[in-house]
Every structure is written in C-alpha cells, then in structure tokens.
Structure 1
Amino acid sequence: MDNFLIITCVHHFQKDGKFYGYGPFIREMNLWIKNRKKVTVLAPLIYSGIPGKIDLEYEHPHLNFKSVPAYHIQSWIARFKALFQVPYILLMIFWEMSKASHIHIRTPGNMGLLAMFVQILFPFKFKTIKYAGNWDPKSEQPHTYKIQRRLANSPFFTRNAKVLVYGNWADNSSNVVPFFTASYSETEIEPVRKSSLKEKIKLVFVGSIYSGKNPEVGIYLSKILKDKGIDFEFIYCGDGVMRPQMEELSIQLDLSENVKFLGNVTSAEIKSILKESHFLIFISKTEGWPKAVAEAMFWGCIPFTSPVSCVPEMVGNGERGVLLSTNPEEIYLALLPYIDDEELFQKTSKQAMDWSRKFTLEKFQKEIVNLECE
C-alpha cells in the first residue's frame, strides 16, 4: 500500500482534529503528499500549544500523526531525559519505516540524525532526504549536522535515495540532486511597481529574530540612514528571543518612528510588504535556500544578504542582489548607488524578479514527480 512517511523535528500542534506546523514547511509538504493515498507524520507534537499566524495545516484526508518527544541535549537534565527518549524514538522510526513505501527524512535536525542511522537498515526502500541546511562542505556546522551530511552523501550507507540539497558542490555523490524551494504559484505572478526611492526608502527583514540571523544589523543601518537625513522605513516581520532587545535598542537610538516590529505575520501580509519594499536586509550566519531572499526577489525587492550556502548563485554573484558582511557602514555604502540611480535599481529589481519567478510551486510539483520517475 502507498504510505508516505515524513520524519521531521518540526514542532506540530493539533486543533479540531487537524495538525499544524511551521507554514513554509507545511506548504511544501502539502505538495509532496498531494497524490499520496496514505501519509504518516512522525514528529514532536506540542500538546499545550496552539497554531500561530505563521502555522498551516496539512491538507490530506488520510493523515496519520505519530507523536514523539522533542528531545535535545542542551542541558544536563535534557541529556538525562534523552537517555530514555532516544531509544523510544529509534523504535518508533524503525517501526514506521518498516511500514512505509516512501521514506521522506528532513535534515539536519535531531530527528533527522536518528532517522539517518535507522534508514541504513532499509536499503531497498525508496527515500528522499531533504537537507534544508547549508550543504557547503567548507562551512562551519555542528558536528551532528556533519554526520547527517556524510551519511546522506554516502551511497554505501544511504541507498536507493535522492538527497535534495541547495546549490552545486564539488564533493556531491550520485545520491545528491541539486534542488530548490518554492513559495508562490504561477497564478500569483503579476507586475510590480515600486514607489520612487526619492520619496521614501523601504527596507524589510523577514525571519526569526535571533542571533543566527544578525537582526541587529538593520537597527544600526537605520541609525546611519537617520543620521544622514534619509527618509526611510524599516519593517521587521518575524518574532524571536531577540525581539525585546531589538525594540529596546531602536528606542534608545531614537528610531521608533522609522523602525516597526510586526511580529509573526501571515504569508499574505509578507507578500504585500515585499511588493512595496525596495530592499531586503538579511545578513544571516547560515542558510540553506533562504526563503526570505527568494520571496523578496520574486517581488522585485533587492536582497542585501550574506554569501552563505547557495546564496551567491541565487543573486548571480551580484547581478540580482548584493553580498555583504554584517558591517552596517558597508551596507549603507552599497545602498547609495541604488538610491542615486533609480535606473540601476529598476534593472536589478527586474533581474531578481525574473530569476526567482522561474521557481514556482508548479515547477516544484513537477520536480517532485520526476524524482520517483528517474
């Protein structure tokens, strides 16, 4: 029987008999399971939580959810608990893999780490392994991420599998298939008209507000813009542990009228904001295929971002965006050519838009089907 098994560390919530999770992840998985007869999800379920604005529900009539503990080893108490949790999770993974016709593992992550060891015992079952992190072998990664990468890249340990990664890398084995992620449909493609940069410069940050995304860069850039007398607004879309600190910093630097924190917003609200924004400021420490960058480009919002993972390929090494460090003064200087030359802005914006619009949900769906036909 057709039984598509999803193994992920994404936290899920239940409401009215339906299961919800992080919106971009669920949106993608709904494409994977669209034509499946039966779907099993093996993942943590947060019983005390409720779905938020950013969460979406699985769309499948025959979805079977199997809950496992959300284990981690970041404290001694957590490590002690993991001694009991991990054996149970391993048994659950083995049992569900034994019943599956297609095994889909999301890596890197705690669940992915365990699943990558267990899948070795099922060499004849077809597997797709989505490595959603930075596949660059030279990048700094946690040791557990490197283990998952090595296992996935090894045709000896991981057989009958397609490993989907972002970018093209020299050490890719026969397992590896360069892939992408999509957010928008062909039906959503429409012309975008940006307001003049002479009126007001509109900047945006989209993502979790924590240290890995370097969100404070936008605040310090905003301080420079204000000191230079430039009319601008900077919108933060997202939430996270650093948000209170960021809000306090913006008050201290007298930026309250220019910088706005919206918290988690719906995909429709993000779409509307990106259509109006001129620049995305997203200097993240590590990424796989950053949806914030791809979505900004889809709506002609030029990304100012970091040269990690496949991002240099995405921005055409500078043709469709700007690769930068976390130095706010450097970012300000990189903005000036676009502020002074609207023709340059329009040209770069169009190139970004044209490239990103090649990667639609429809194309993603076709590539999923092709994976099993190869």
Structure 2
Amino acid sequence: MRLGVVSNVVHYATSDGLHAYGPYARELDIWADLFDEVTILGPCRNTRPPGDAVPFTRKNITIVPQKERGGDSLSAKISLLMSVPAMMQDLLRGMANVDAIHVRCPGNLGLLGVLLGRFVARKRIAKYAGQWTPYPGEQPTVRLQRWLLGSSWWGAPVTVYGKWDRQPSHVIPFFTSLMDADHMGRARLAIARREPSAELRIVYLGRLTTSKNLDVLLRAIQNVTAQGLRVRCTIVGEGPERQSLEQLAMELSLAKNVRFTGGVPHEETSTILEDADVLVLVSETEGWPKALAEAMAFGLVCIGSDRGLIPQMLGEGRGIVVPPGDVDALAKELGRIARDPERCLSMRGRAAAWAQQYSLEGLREALRCLLNERWGTNIPPVTRTVRAVAGNQ
C-alpha cells in the first residue's frame, strides 16, 4: 500500500539523502515500516540541513516537493491566499498516486490536505501535532483546522497528544517517542547510576524560539545564584533567539553558569541527560514535548508550564508545573530542588516509570493496530529492529 504524507515541515535534499527535523524524521521512518511506499508532499530545499535535522533511514520514503509559501507580513499573507488554487492543484497531483493519506496539522499545507483528503482518499488519517485546546495568540487558521478535524465531517481518525474534555470518539490520544528499546535500557541504567551533585545541573532541549521562554529560565537562574546556590545550565538546540539569549546570559552575569551547545547528535543528548538533575520547559504552548518525555525516562526532575499537555504529563506527582512567564515561581522551585534534592526521589521514579511506556517500537505497533481497526486493512506485524537515528537535537 502506498501512503501519501501531507506535511508543512521543511525537508532538505542532499547527496546523502533526504533530511528533516529529527523527531519528525524518526516518526516517519516508523510509518514507512508499515507501507510499501511513502511519498511526502511537503516543502523541500536543496541546501545543507540545519543542526536539528537528521536523515530518513527508510529507503521507501520519497518526496514530491511543494512550493514554500506564507509568512508573517501582510504581503506574504495576501500572496499565500492568491496561491491557494495552485497549492491545491499540486497536492491533488501527489494524492492521485497513493492509496491512503496521512495529513499532519497544523499548517497551511495541512489545512489544504484536510479539505482535499476528505474527498480524495477513502483511507485517511490526520495527526494534530499541536495543543488540542485554544491558547492565547492562536491563529484563526489553526483554530479552523482543529474544528474541522474534530467534526464528524472529517470522518476519519485523528491522533492528538493527550485526552481532553468532550473529545469525539474519532479523536484518539496518541504519544510518540524519540527512544528505541536500547535507548530505554540506557535510561534505566542512568537512573541506577545517578549520584548526588554539589551543584544543581539544569538542562533545556529544543528550539531556541520566543515561545519557549528561555529568557524566563535565565532570569530564574540569576535569582537562584543570587541566593548563593550553585547552578549549571546546559541549553541544547538551535533557533533564531540564540544570539539574543547568549547576550542576555552575559548581561545577567551567567557566562560561567550557562552553556549553549547548539544542535548536538542524539547520542550526545543522552550523555547530557545522564549528567543533569532537572529539565526545564516553560513554553507558552506545547503539544507532546518529546524532550520532556525523554528527560522523564532518564529520571530527571522536570519543571514545565501549565500549558498544553504538560500538566497531564507531569501530573500525579511526576513533575512540577509553573505559569510560563513567572520567573519567581520557577526560581522558587529550582531553589527548593537545589536545597533538598532528596525530596524529589519519588517524583523521579514516577516520571521514569510513566515515560518508559512509550518507545518507537510501541508507537509502530500502536499505529499498525489503529490503522487495521479504522481502515479495515491487514497490515502485518513488523519485526525489524527500530534504531533511533543518531541525529541532532
């Protein structure tokens, strides 16, 4: 069976193959295990991939490039609106050569994929990879996609992160992972070997963007160090805010406390987690933050914002939740952990036990069962070993 994937993610074609953002590429590798062919309908650049991109490892994945359109300016929005007919025509050409459609939302292409897929494909499934509840600053087109997918009009399964009030039966809680079985074993070993440290070791993993509130983390660290507590923070990832964040760290006299690594191989990310005590993720909005799940699996104390799925992930004593822009609240929790790290032992254990349920192998089998149930197909079990690609974070 041939699967078409409608995705707004930017892909990169090089002599080494096709690359994309790490967690997304690893997930599509899993989808490719279940189909004879996977054709991506999405943007593609013939340039060097950024540090957080990894290669697709499955040879049955190809791409039919879609032109990149959109932007924040008024002229870009008008241009996008004018180009909708051409975008729909390009998508229809790609959809004509597949047997089933997987639409990934939210995104401009995702919205068109939902509108077209409803009429083109009998076998279809959507993934909503954002927060499945309204949030401040949400774009109207994002709200529209969520409404369409949540309605009976869509008529097909939708996977979302978490379980929410008044969730229709076709909207199904689903969780992805960055970790294969071997990686899970490494996480369990790291927990067994973890020893107390003389300083509080904080880590952040992800994109360096405004919505991640890394300025809040830096100011909270300044607050904690002013109390005479020893703190070391490692910020892993790339993004448009890196330069301004490095400048802020200098202004706050945190040059000796905070290290920016840029994008690093996933193997190195695991090493960083083994040498950390706390992960902080106080974003304005989140779907299923895979870095948070990975840190939980490694037994870190996790502090997240009270947005999106994070309260569900860190509920029942698995972590700590604070308002996303509250420097004092974050500093207070970091100070408590620094002064009494032993109080978090049971929290670490509960977090690890919960997160280690979700592996790449488990994701693949869950997808297979879901597709067979909802589509009436008979996709056979896959026995090949899943290997998480050693790409960048």
Aligned to 2:219: 220
Where does residue 21 of structure 2 map in the other structure? 22
Superposition pairs of residues 173-322 of structure 1, within 5 angstroms? 173-188=168-183, 189=185, 190-192=188-190, 193-197=193-197, 199-317=198-316, 319-322=317-320
Give, in whole Å, the separation in 1 of the partners of 2:271 and 2:148. Answer: 41
CA contact (8 A) 2:208 2:241 kept: yes
Give the distance between the partners of 2:69 and 2:220, measured in 1 at CA: 38
The residue identity in structure 2 corresponding to 1:320 is R
- The answer to whether the Cα contact below 8 Å between 1:287 and 1:309 also exists between their aligned partners in 2 is yes
In the TM superposition, residue 52 of structure 1 has moved relative to its aligned partner by 3.0
Match of 1:147 among 144, 154, 161: 144
8 A Cα contact 1:285 1:306, kept in partner: yes
Q: How far off is 1:195 after superposition?
A: 3.4
Map Cα deviations across residues 309-329 of structure 1 (whole Å, 9 max, x no partner).
221111125x01100022222
**Percent sequence identity over aligned pairs:** 28
CA separation of 1:75 and 1:338: change in aligned 2, threshold 3 A = closer
1:367 aligned partner: 366
Deviates most, 78-87 or 280-289: 78-87
**Residue 132 of structure 1 pairs with residue 129 of structure 2:** yes
Q: How far apart are 1:80 and its partner, in Å?
A: 4.8
Offset, 1:338: 2.8
Equivalent residue letter for 1:368: L
Greater RCO (CA < 8 Å, at least 6 residues apart) = 2
Which residue identity does 1:352 align to in structure 2?
A
Per-residue deviation at 1:204? 0.9
Q: Which residue of 1 aligns with 2:101?
A: 103
What is the root-mean-square deviation in Å for CA atoms of aligned residues?
1.7
Task: Answer yes or no: is the 8 Å Cα contact 1:195–1:276 preserved in 2.
Answer: no
Question: Which residue of the partner structure matches residue 376 of structure 2?
Answer: none
Aligned residue pairs, count: 367
Contact 2:52–2:238 (CA under 8 A) maintained in structure 1? no
> TM-score, normalization: structure 1?
0.93
- CA displacement at 1:308 relative to structure 2: 1.4
Q: Give me the whole-angstrom Cα distance separating, in 1, the residues matched to 2:291 and 2:306.
A: 14
Preserved contact between residue 201 and residue 275 of structure 2 (Cα < 8 Å): yes
Q: Name the structure 1 match of 2:59.
A: 61
Task: Give the Cα separation in 2 of the matches to 1:179 and 1:230.
Answer: 40
Shift of 1:84: 5.3
Query: CA separation of 1:91/1:354 partners in 2, compared to 1, >3 Å: closer, same or farther?
Result: same
What SS class does the counterpart of residue 45 from structure 2 fall into?
coil
How far, CA to CA, are the matches of 2:103 and 2:202 in structure 1? Answer: 36
Cα shift readout 1:273-301 (whole Å, capped 9, x = no counterpart): 11211111110000100112111111111
Q: Distance in 1 between matches of 2:114 and 2:63?
A: 20
Residue in 1 that maps onto 2:377 = none
Conservation of the 8 A alpha-carbon contact between 2:161 and 2:173 = yes
Instruction: State the shift of 1:83 in Å.
Output: 4.9
Structure 2 residue 158 is the aligned partner of structure 1 residue 163: yes
Distance in 1 between residues matched to 2:152 and 2:301, nearest whole Å: 39
Amino acid at match of 1:42: L
| Structure 1 unaligned blocks of 5 or more | none
Structure 2 contact 224–334 (Cα < 8 Å) conserved: no
Give how far 1:138 is off. 6.5
Where does structure 2 lack aligned partners over 5 or more consecutive residues?
A: 374-393
Q: In the alignment, which residue of structure 2 is the partner of 1:44?
A: 43
Q: Give the match's secondary structure for 2:89.
A: helix
Amino acid at match of 2:366: E
1:323 to 321, 333, 337: 321
* One-letter amino acid of the counterpart of residue 132, structure 2: W
- 3-state SS of 1:331 partner: helix
Query: What secondary structure, in the 3-state scheme, does the structure 2 residue paired with 1:96 have?
Result: helix
The Cα shift of 1:137 comes to 4.6
Distance 1:219 1:337, change over 3 A: closer
State how 1:5-20 maps to structure 2 within 5 Å. Answer: 5-16=4-15, 18-20=17-19
* TM-score, with length taken from structure 2: 0.89
What is the CA-CA distance between 1:173 and the residue it aligns to?
A: 1.7
Separation in structure 2 between the aligned mates of residue 108 and residue 329 of structure 1, nearest angstrom: 33
Q: Which residue of 2 aligns with 1:345?
A: 344
Q: Distance in 2 between matches of 1:109 and 1:83?
A: 14
Moved more, 170-179 or 72-81: 72-81
CA distance in structure 1 between the partners assigned to 2:69 and 2:32 by the alignment: 26
